Amino acid sequence: MEVIIAIVVIIALTIGIVWLIDKFVPKKIKPVINILLWVLIIFLGYITYMSVYKEIQFNELKQKRFAVVIDRLIDIRDAQLAYKDVNGTFTDSFDKLISFVETGKVPITQRRDTLVLDEEKTKAFGGVETMKTLTLIDTLSFYSVKDSLFKGSDRYKKMMDVGVGKEGSKFTLKAGKLDEFSVFEASIEKSVVLNDQEPYLIQKENQVMSVDGVNGPTLKVGSMTEVFTKGNWPKSYTNKE
């Protein structure tokens, strides 16, 4: 919208200048004024073009970098879910998470119902046998977290690294309890991922609120304020989900 407004203003300004020249400028100096006017028009056109081109470049770069970050956040989320299956809670330590992926095994279970004697009701009914249903969980086998989630890759060893943007940047990992539920959140600021871009473009990206964009100033998966294990990005940014 800002670019469209700028183009309209430039067109209106050009028309106005042409009218003023034709109306008030003597014929002898009109050629000089026309040359200067064309230089101004070309300069303004170049500025307008570059402002549009910079946004196109920014959006292309943003999508590539966000895709890398999102894939890593998905790895963190998957490792956290497996960790919780075994330990009952999420962790806020990448060291623990990486160690778990390296050596952890998750049980494969089977639920089955069976009838047993309900002694209390049998006694209450004067010895008349009364049955109740119990749900039993049998452990059938175990699977390796590393092999299941990462299929021979060792990328999990660097899951704390953002990998793009500001050199050496790492995800923030939190975990805790929300009422009786275990929750976690892994996040990174967009300004870190896009640190070498124009500040006004980063500021504009931080204000995004749309169904086809990453809303807000951060890329994150999970939440510390609600029971939620998904990310804040649209599906178009990854093919892992």
Convert the pLDDT of each residue in 51-92 to its tens digit: 778 888 999 999 999 999 999 999 999 999 999 988 999 999
Dihedral pair phi/psi, residue 76, rounded to 5°: -60, -45
- The pLDDT score that the predictor gives to residue 6 is 65
Comparing CA positions, the residue from 150, 147, 231 lying closest to residue 184 is 231
Within the chain, strands assigned E span: 105-117, 131-144, 172-178, 181-189, 218-222
- What mean pLDDT comes out for the span 181-201? 95
CB 65 within 8 A of CB 193: yes
Q: What is the mean pLDDT of residues 196-210?
A: 92
Q: Calculate mean pLDDT across residues 111-134.
A: 76
Q: How much is the pLDDT for 225?
A: 94
pLDDT of res. 136: 63
Beta bridge partners of 184: 175
The angle subtended at Cα 179 by Cα 177 and Cα 180, nearest 5°, is 75
- Residue 8, token pair as written in the block: 């309209």
Q: What residue has token string 């100033």?
A: 217
Residue 163, Ramachandran bin (φ over 0: left; ψ between -120 and 50: alpha; else beta): left
Whole-model pTM over 0.75: no
Q: Where are the domains of the chain?
A: 2-52, 53-233
pLDDT at site 143: 66
Write down how long the chain is: 241
- Tokens linked to 67: 């895709």
Determine the pLDDT at residue 109: 54
> What average pLDDT does range 142-167 have in this prediction?
89
